[in-house]
Chains A and B, each alone.
Chain A
Amino acid sequence: MFRSPGGSKPLDPFTAEIVREGLLAIAEEMFASLGRTSKSPIIYEVLDYACALTTARAELIGQANGVTGFLGTLTYAVQDILDKFGDDMAPGDIFATNDPYGGGGSHLSDVSMVMPIFVDGHLVAFAVNKAHWSEIGGKDAGSWTTDATEIYQEGLQLPGVRLFRQGRPEQGILDIIAANVRTPDMTLGDLHAQAACLRLAGVRMQELCAKYGIDTVHQAIEQLLNHGEQLARQGLARLPKGVFEAEDFIDDDGLGHEPRPVRVRVTITDDEFIADFTGTAPQSRGPVNCSRVALMSGVRAIFLALTNPNVPANEGCFRPLRVICPDGTVLTAQRPAPVSTHWEARLFSTEIVWKALAPAVPERLTAGHYLSVCAEVVVSTRPETGELAILVEPNAGGWGAGFDKDGEDGLYCVGDGETYVLPAEVAEASYSVRVNRYAFDIVDAGEGRFRGGRGMVREYVVTSEEGATVTASFGRHRFRPWGVQGGRDGSPNYVQVVRADGREEPPAGKLARAYLAKGDMLRLVTGTGGGWGDPRLRPREKVLADLRAGMITVQAARDVYGLTEEELAGVEEATPGGR
């Protein structure tokens, strides 16, 4: 039987389960509440936020997130607040941090808010959430950019500050925020939505403790964490043991410097999973760095994928994981290195482990995918009203093939998750753009016995008289999604400007504040994923079906898959026209 540390009476397994469900329901209710009350599309459409409960010692109890990128980072925000304020916390206090090198963990746009929960005067837990604010100030609208050289250019820093004191706003701080962001109404709206979400969690936690008693709740939490650890250890036991290595490259640092190598050496033993990133490039001048907290989150995501993908994560799930990396690398950047496109580094920390293990763990992993968040900021005006409008969105792309399946077409990258593409109809009504095309991008890449999934092409034509300014970061522009066991590599991500007169500018991986006049077009293209196995082994009928559906070109069918002219002739007639 389970026993609490205090030696009080053992908790029966049914009560443990009921309280566990109650705790997870709180995180989910927080998530639903914030999504419904937020004012920014990046939160309510893209679900770029996460909510969690932690113990009074900042251990993760349960988390509901829209994106994998926030997995396990919320606890660091709580830890920072706990370290800084200690006993100086009272019921009704709410704190904020976005310090990337500390508890914030990603970039300044991601603001974590933390509320201590007291029951009968005792600190029993923390409620925490983290959301991407569309605007946090800085040198460029939308706050993230590809050519910053210092954090100071990337926005307003909130290094663990008290926003509400015993329920009352610290008006001075809110005024500073309002004065430093370009969309104060939206930003403060999100701040209040985050605060409301935390208060809701507080009420629910108090209800739970009132019903079952603080002691029982503590015991249930303890069991919950142990349960997570057991599942992780069982998952670890199923993995192959040994040393696995991989190397890959971040395109550049946004300022034209050389590719940045990322290296990992994974050691799997009976009771530990060690990811050692020694040998990874030093931090960059440009903003393709991430901090140690982001690295932790990136590795936690793939560790969970390998050991325990089906169960809600808690602190216990990560106990067998150890991450080694010296300070000052592109994955462990130090102040004041810029970090606003941190995902270009963080996602490599996830995928490099994946790449090292894919051939050895095919039942969990596929070939390489388009990887980058592939995000852009389009600064324009709202149609009709002429107000400033900032479109920020990640783009979906192609996933790698598995040992027994084709890759998925048009799916969000590993750093995103329950993320929704912005509908063309909503984009056109909200921003001064017209969507010209939104379709799979059919290129000759990613062929294999199982083929890589297709990336996307999305084209925006600028419709406002004043034009629009575009910043974009599409990593994996030079180093393509990798194939496995003879499967071909996928295709690169890129952005391209097509002028109103039809002149096409060269494809690029990054754009900083490019000006597009009315009628100019922004073309956003994401990569096809890597293939798995020799393309010549792909069954004929599958190649023919792909051809009929227009998912591969005639050239690939002939040259890569080896279809004869005879076989090809029968198909072309069946290819639908009207296109």
Chain B
Amino acid sequence: MRVATDIGGTFTDLVYVSPDGRVGLAKSPSTPPHFSQGVLDVIRKAGIDPGQVEGFVHGSTVVINALTERKGARTGLVTTRGFRDVLAIGRANRPDMYNMRFRKQAPFVPRQWRYEVTERIDYRGRVVTPLDEGDVRRVADQIAREGLEAVAVCFLHSYANPAHEQRCAELLRELLPGVAVSASHEITMEWREYERKSTVVLNAYVRPAASRYLERLESELKELGIGRGLEVMKSNGGTTPFAVARKQPIHLVESGPVAGVIGAQAVARRAGVDNIITLDIGGTTAKTSLVEAGQVRITTDYRIERDGRLPGYPIKVPVVDIVEIGAGGGSIARIDEAGAVRIGPKSAGSVPGPACYGRGGTQPTVTDANLLTGRLNPAYFLAGDLRLDPDKAKEAIRPLAERFGLPVEEAALGILRVANASMVNAIKLVSVRRGYDPRDFTLVAFGGGGPLHAAALAQELHIRRVLIPPAPGTFSALGMLATRPVQDFVRTRLLPSADEHMDQVKALFAAMKEEALAFMAASGFDPSRVHLRYLVDMRYRGQEHTVRVPVAAVDRQEMEARFHELHEQAYTFRLDSPVELVNFHVSAVCQETPVDVEALAPAFSGDGSPKGRRNVLFEGTGWVSCPVYERANLVPDRAVEGPAIIEEPTSTAVVHPGQRARVDELGNILVETGV
């Protein structure tokens, strides 16, 4: 059987599919700071037979936590002479332009632990100055004296020739047993020294903590009798064995939200849909991502701790392209000092939470607005575990309503409209702004809040159909069951797109193929089941930004034709200028049979009748009496006419007037928006 465990802030979730196709879910409190305990707890609670576990996928926040809490290792950096300050300079940008007291974010390695050695390689990979091994030995002494636990090595142009980094790392490993040494080319082979340096430094910084955590979990799992197929969820939407993750933990940085996208993709594909936009609304944020023709979009322009005012820290590893905005259930609505309405990014979080939670929150939130407009059932939130208090919600929204001379419920609807508008803008960021028409996509909604808002957003964006998978509130762990081992390889090599360079391209891809297959074999996968995808980042000469072009065969004309097409889609025009090839990607996917999501379909035993009615406030129609259904009681393919509410233990779906919903055989709710 295949098991997935996902550690969240409050709960650790477990989902499994048993050999007879049965799906099981279990939930147990997370146990910071020793998260592995929570994993063991939830395994016991689920009552699965460890001996039957053949695949174990784990999603962990250990990496992102170590970074955001600054609880990583004492880390040093070894770099090319003359360049130790690059890490602190960053790109020197000031996103907070009119703040004359702007503060840069401090580097993860302080200056006294940034060491320089003599060596130099040029942009073509030719050695200009050989590596001075005496320098490396002297630096090793200092690292030992300072008692550092981890070291990053990053030299200029190592993407073109990693020889010096390799030798330096080798020496340091020899001289400093017990110190975790990471070299930049092992993590990323893309150019730009600051970004590569930041990536390897963050990898080094989290490595001891991640390594300890994974080792401990592994040995505890083995004690339980779970020892086969231990894998970790990565930010690229794939998985990797524990052993690999211990060396390259930075690949785990964004794994949580990514699992939801992969799950949505799997569920949608099974339902016969290849083009989807995902919508994952939690307590503090809404996240959205676009999947075209079954392919998730991968970016390497990822940064942590970046917002409109801070540049953040770049991490150049492949990450599923997700846009996240500060509009979730707990986001707070307020009136700014000059009288305009604003929502988020401040959130009431889970403590104290929205006012209606009755845990001391007094500020109006999106959840309060959903309650007052009749969308949420006060007696059936989190399966009834948390009783919502409409009076407290009213109290919270009243000042805002009075300010504008509106009834409280009208103000609540206003809050929802503004929140929806910012979610619409986020979805436009991943679609319209990248040259995709949302009308060609299905909106897949999950997270506790996704199904509450999805139908309204879809209508606004002229999306015809919304798909709400089973158990949308615990969808991330479910998504992990649908993942496969994936390893990405990227190299920067600047080449004009010309026939005479195609042999070079072929040779590069051949070398990368060899590397990819060797890596997958060393990671324990059967090479015959490894599938490779080839992509090239291309651009018009003189441009900086590239377009990622899938390559079926190394053929200049074909590649260029596809490039012109994709460029025009993304940027509205094509040029006659010569074309350049910049980054080469090989993505290795192990074709293990992921779990058939059909197993997730519930047994239908209900009669499809509503369990009651309540009044819901909609824009345009005012208050309308709506039937309320229990999701488990719905009958496949029998239409539910909107307006209607469909409740389940961890989520609530809203079907608007004029819309129509039904459940398919797989248990998905499909809402036709009628646009």
Residue positions of A touching B, CB distance < 8 A: 1, 12-18, 20-22, 25, 29, 32-33, 35-41, 44-45, 65, 67-68, 185-186, 189, 192, 196, 199-200, 223, 227, 230-231, 234, 301, 304-305, 308-310, 354, 363-366, 383, 396, 399, 402, 405, 408-412, 414, 416-421, 423-426, 428-429, 434-440, 456, 459, 548-551, 574-579
Contacts and interface: CB of A to CB of B under 8 A. Distances in A.
Contacts of A15: 417
A341 B390 CA distance: 63
Interface stretch (B112-120, B277-285, B476-484): B112-120
B433 A425 contact: no
Nearest to A369: B100
B95 interface: yes
A411 B102 contact: yes
Lowest 6 CB-CB distances: which A-B pairs, in order? A396-B92, A437-B82, A14-B414, A417-B97, A39-B542, A44-B544
A425 B544 CA distance: 14
A185 B542 contact: yes
B192 A230 contact: no
Nearest to A402: B101
Contacts of B128: 434
B543 A21 contact: no
B92 A32 contact: no
A578 B138 contact: yes
A11 B49 CA distance: 62
Contacts of B551: none
A380 to B, nearest CB: 14
Contacts of B425: 21-22, 25
Contact of B94 (A412, A423, A429, A437): A412
B96 A309 contact: yes
Contacts of A25: 425, 428
Given A189-B577, A409-B88, A578-B135, 12 more contacts: A13-B414, A25-B425, A301-B98, A305-B99, A310-B99, A396-B89, A396-B92, A420-B93, A423-B191, A438-B86, A440-B85, A578-B116
Nearest to A363: B101
A68 B418 contact: no
Which of A35, A40, A423, A551 has the most chain B CB atoms closer than 10 A to its own CB? A423
B193 interface: yes
B96 A189 contact: no
Contact of B341 (A17, A22, A423): A17
Contacts of B159: 425
B84 interface: yes
Given A18-B418, A189-B540, A301-B98, A421 B115 contact: no
A227 B339 contact: yes
Interface stretch (B250-258, B567-575, B600-608): B567-575
B142 interface: yes
Contacts of B417: 14-15, 18
Nearest to A230: B338
A435 B577 CA distance: 29
A33 B571 contact: yes
B100 A439 contact: no
A12 B417 CA distance: 12
Given A408-B103, A439-B83, A548 B112 contact: yes
Given A423-B193, A424-B83, A434-B122, A365 B414 contact: no
A423 B192 contact: yes
Which of A21, A231, A424 has the most chain B CB atoms closer than 10 A to its own CB? A424
Given A412-B92, A418-B94, A578-B115, A14 B341 contact: yes
20 contacts: A13-B341, A32-B433, A33-B572, A39-B540, A44-B545, A192-B575, A231-B338, A234-B337, A412-B92, A419-B94, A421-B91, A421-B92, A425-B192, A426-B191, A428-B122, A439-B82, A439-B83, A549-B112, A577-B142, A579-B115
Interface of B: 81-86, 88-104, 110-113, 115-117, 122-123, 128, 135, 138-139, 142, 146, 156-157, 159, 191-195, 337-342, 404-406, 414-415, 417-418, 421-422, 425, 428, 433, 494, 540, 542-545, 570-573, 575, 577
Contacts of A309: 96, 98-100
Nearest to B338: A230
Contacts of A408: 102-104
Contacts of A363: 101
A223 B82 CA distance: 53
Which of A12, A411, A423, A576 has the most chain B CB atoms closer than 10 A to its own CB? A576
A202 to B, nearest CB: 12
A421 B414 contact: no
Nearest to B139: A578
B342 A17 contact: yes
A425 B123 contact: yes
A33 B570 CA distance: 9
A29 B432 CA distance: 10
B156 A424 contact: yes
Given A396-B92, A409-B104, A424 B193 contact: yes
B542 A551 contact: no
Contacts of B428: 25
A9 B277 CA distance: 37
Contacts of B418: 14, 17-18
A35 B433 CA distance: 13
Contacts of B157: 425, 428
A273 to B, nearest CB: 15
B16 to A, nearest CB: 43
A454 B587 CA distance: 43
Nearest to B86: A438
B94 A576 contact: no
A420 B110 CA distance: 22
Given A409-B104, A429-B191, A417 B421 contact: no
A177 B339 CA distance: 48
A418 B104 CA distance: 13
A274 B338 CA distance: 23
A364 B192 CA distance: 34
Contact of A550 (B95, B111, B193): B111
Contact of A231 (B82, B83, B337, B433): B337
A405 B101 contact: yes
A420 B92 contact: yes
B98 A192 contact: no
A426 B540 CA distance: 16
A200 B102 CA distance: 33
B398 to A, nearest CB: 15
A33 B94 CA distance: 20
Nearest to A200: B572
A551 B575 contact: no
B111 A549 contact: yes
A361 B110 CA distance: 32
Contacts of A434: 122, 128
A2 B476 CA distance: 45
B92 A419 contact: yes
Contacts of B91: 420-421
A18 B543 CA distance: 35
A437 B79 CA distance: 12
A383 B496 CA distance: 13
A185 B577 contact: yes
B113 to A, nearest CB: 7
Given A40-B542, A424-B193, A230 B339 contact: yes
Given A39-B542, A425-B156, A439 B337 contact: no
Contact of A227 (B88, B156, B338, B572): B338
A63 to B, nearest CB: 11
B138 A438 contact: no
Nearest to B135: A578
A308 B81 CA distance: 43
Nearest to A44: B544
Contacts of B84: 439, 579
B94 A416 contact: yes
A290 B9 CA distance: 55
B432 to A, nearest CB: 8
